[in-house]
Structure 1
Amino acid sequence: MIGKLKGTIEEIGEDYALVDVHGVCYVAYCSARTLSKLGSVGEACILFIETYVREDQIRLFGFMAVLEREWFNLLQTVQGVGAKVALALLSTLTPSELANAIALQDRMSVSRAPGVGPKVAMRIVTELKNKVPAFAGEATNIGLKQDLGEGVASAPVSDAVSALTNLGYSREQAANAIAAAMKVAGDEADSAKLIRLGLRELSR
C-alpha cells in the first residue's frame, strides 16, 4: 500500500495531481483545497496517500496533511458519503471548520459542499458528534461548542453567542469569541461581560 508520495508535480488537473516519483508518475485525486496549495508544475511536493484497491482499479487519494486524510476516512463512515463526497466536503471546509460545524450541529455549513443534501448533512453532524474531539485538529473549545450544539450550554453563554450572531457574526465566530472570553472572565461570568469580551476578541 502507498502511504506517501514525494516527488515532482507533473500535471494538475481539475480533481487530481500527477506526481513524478523517480520517473514513475502517480495519479492522486485531491480536494480543490489541496490542489490549490500544492504548487506549480515542476515543483517538489509531498502528498499523504490513501490507497483504494478495487477488483477493477487501484485509486490514490492525496492530502497535504495526515489530519485531512483522517477526516477523509472518518467522513466515509457516514452512510451516503463516499470518496467523491468526502473530497467535496474537504474542498469546502477545512478540518477545523468541519469539527466546528459538527460540534455546533451546523447542518447548513456542511450542506454547502456539492453533493451533500439536507439528509446527508444531518447524518454527518449527528453520527460524528462524539468523534469530533479526536479529529478536531486546529479547532478549539470543542466541548463548549458541543454544549451549544446540543442546547445544554449555560444561559449566559447561550445568550452571549446569540447576541453576537444577531450582530451579524457567524455562529462559529461567536462561539470562538465567547470561548476566548470565558478563559478571561471565568465560567461564572454573566452574559453582558461575555458579550463585551467577545466583541473585543472579534475586533482583533
Structure 2
Amino acid sequence: MLEPQRRLHILRGVSLLTGPFRRPPIWVPLLIFVLLLIADQLLKAWALSHLTPGQPPVVAVPGVLEWVLVFNTGAAWSMFSGSAAPLALGRLLVGLGILGYVLWRPQTRFLTVVLSMIAAGAVGNAIDGLRLGRVTDMIHAPPLSAVTKVIGQGSFPIFNLADSCVVVGTILLVIGTFIADRPKRTL
C-alpha cells in the first residue's frame, strides 16, 4: 500500500521525467543497454547469415513484418550516404555520452529506460559502421510503407533493432516531456 502523500502525487499525474519515484540502481541502465545491444548484434548476425541482398522479402508475420537484407552507408533514409565512418564515430560518441550521463547522474526510471534505449541503438549502429563500413538493416514493416505511400513518400525504409531503439526511445522522451509539462490537476 502506498503512503498517502505518494498516492496523492501519483493521482496528480506526477511527471515521468522528474517524479518522486526512486531512482533505479546503477546496474539497471547498464543491463538495458547491454541486453538491447546484444539483441541488435545477434539479429544483424542472423540477417547476414540467413538473408541475401536483393532477394525478395521473407515474410515473418504476414502483412506486418518481413525480413529484407539491405545495407546503409549513411543515416536514416540514406541521408549522408557514403559517410559510414564519421557517422559511426558520431553515433558512438553520442551513445556512450548518453549512457555515461545516465550512470553519472541517475534519472527517474522512465528516463533511465528511455535514455538507455537510445544509447544502445546509437552504439549498435556505430558498431556496424566501424566494423563493416555500413549499417545492416533487415526489418520491413508493410503497414509503415502503406502510410508513407499514402503521403507520397514511397516505401518506408528497411530498418534494424538499433534504429527502433533510437526512434521509440526518442518518441517516448517527447511524449514524457509533454506529460511533464502538463498542468497538475488538483483533487
TM-score range, shorter chain: under 0.3
**Higher percent of residues as helix:** 2
Q: How does the TM-score come out when normalised to structure 2?
A: 0.21
Q: How does the TM-score come out when normalised to structure 1?
A: 0.19
**Higher percent of residues as strand:** 1
